[in-house]
Structure 1
Amino acid sequence: MAENTPPGGAVDPDPGLARLNALTTESLRTELAQCLDIDRWVEEVAAGAPFPDREALLSHADAHARGITGEEVAGALARHPRIGEKAEGKGTEANWSRGEQSAFASGTDDAGAKVQRIFAFAQKEYEDRFGQIYLVCASGRGPRELLADLVERLYNDRGTELAVVGDELRKIAGLRLVKLLESV
């Protein structure tokens, strides 16, 4: 019988979810940490397994990511490269990061290169102001859109910015969970 074929021979409609549900708790935690490296979140999401369907998993994960604290933001940022820098390593998380930022690097004409240089300057301003890297859910967003977001966020106070980064981490975690489910 095939790996994702339940008794009776019917094919499991969501092999990615079946794979996650079949993992040991420790293996599930390892997989989830690639999506969002916050111990509390990993533990809370893993505690909800097994999940009856994809929507239940995504909803459960999203609900627990909505409470990301400022302290958790600092720890999670350590695993994210700056926008415009290639993620190091060959693992799943590094590959995801490179893919999520691919639209940023796509502007190879003179105008795109200028926007990227201005972005690098604004990113330095952001780091000086907030003492952390600028993090955004960059998936599918080009340099001009990211620059506009970055400049707008420079006007935030520290508390507001930590909340914004927490929400961006939540969005990234949701996208990565879907990738986890599709990596069968």
Structure 2
Amino acid sequence: MRQPATRTAVPVQTSGPAQGPAVHPGLDRFNTAPTAEAKAALLKCSGSRRWAARLAAHRPYPDLDALLAAADEAGYDLPPADLAEALAAEVSPGLHHAAPHSAHLALRAAHAAYECRFGHVFVICLDGFEPAEQPDQVLAGIRARLSHDPDQERVVTAEEMRRLARGRIIELISGS
């Protein structure tokens, strides 16, 4: 189970404007890793085996943007069963243990209401939000999305999953 993380885009190292295209050692390692290793790394980005297999099979990627575009495309093509598989690997965003007890109770109740209504954990990409803002964003997101009908929420959830996967891929490539 993974914890939500705040991510920002990591600049790709370049060899200079006159010297050729962008170079990223993490992408090179990903492109040349054995298929099983690449799939395992991708499963940490999204819990869909089909998504991970598709991205691993289409290597090598010329740059990070191409990998991210392929991840988006694979995410848009996920059938409901594969989205459910990816959601099963997710952990609902929580609070820091030092947060007030009342905040933990409120968030727990909101998550329970969401899971009861939609049958899966609440996912939200918190990129761009400071850690102090994240609990409010999670609560506001749950409250707003509880008003969705199941079809509308399925679309929003799939988009949040794609956003989470993109951020995790950036972390994977920049942290390799």
Q: TM-score range by the shorter chain?
A: 0.7 to 0.9
Decide which of 92, 96, 110 is 1:105's aligned counterpart. 96
CA distance in structure 1 between the partners assigned to 2:23 and 2:157 by the alignment: 35
Q: Following superposition, which runs of at least 4 residues in structure 1 exceed 3 angstroms of deviation?
A: 113-116, 138-141
The superposition leaves residues 99-135 of structure 1 with CA deviations (integer Å, 9 ceiling, x where unpaired) of: xxxxx42873x5xx54443222121111111122212
Question: Do structure 1's residue 137 and structure 2's residue 125 form an aligned pair?
Answer: yes
Structure 2 length normalisation: TM-score?
A: 0.77
CA distance in structure 1 between the partners assigned to 2:142 and 2:98 by the alignment: 17
**In the comparison of the two structures, how many residue pairs are matched?**
151
Decide which of 122, 144, 162 is 1:170's aligned counterpart. 162
Question: Do structure 1's residue 118 and structure 2's residue 106 form an aligned pair?
Answer: yes
* 2:5 corresponding residue in structure 1: none
Question: Do structure 1's residue 154 and structure 2's residue 146 form an aligned pair?
Answer: yes
| 1:25 maps to amino acid | T
> Structure 2: which 5+ runs fail to align?
1-21
* 1:57 corresponding residue in structure 2: 67
Question: Do structure 1's residue 32 and structure 2's residue 42 form an aligned pair?
Answer: yes
CA distance in structure 1 between the partners assigned to 2:45 and 2:28 by the alignment: 18
Considering Cα pairs closer than 8 Å and 6+ residues apart, tell me whether 1 or 2 has the greater RCO.
2
Aligned with 1:105: secondary structure? coil
- The answer to whether the 8 Å contact 2:93/2:138 transfers is no
Question: Do structure 1's residue 46 and structure 2's residue 34 form an aligned pair?
Answer: no
The superposition leaves residues 8-29 of structure 1 with CA deviations (integer Å, 9 ceiling, x where unpaired) of: xxxx831001111111122211
Answer with 128-137 or 138-147: which moved more. 138-147
CA distance in structure 1 between the partners assigned to 2:174 and 2:92 by the alignment: 26
What is the CA-CA distance between 1:62 and the residue it aligns to? 1.4
CA distance in structure 2 between the partners assigned to 1:72 and 1:165 by the alignment: 13
- The answer to whether the 8 Å contact 1:70/1:163 transfers is no
CA distance in structure 2 between the partners assigned to 1:66 and 1:22 by the alignment: 26
Larger radius of gyration: 1
> Structure 1: which 5+ runs fail to align?
1-11, 85-103
Structure 1 length normalisation: TM-score?
A: 0.73
- The answer to whether the 8 Å contact 2:47/2:88 transfers is no
| 2:151 maps to amino acid | G
- The answer to whether the 8 Å contact 1:35/1:173 transfers is yes
CA distance in structure 1 between the partners assigned to 2:140 and 2:162 by the alignment: 21
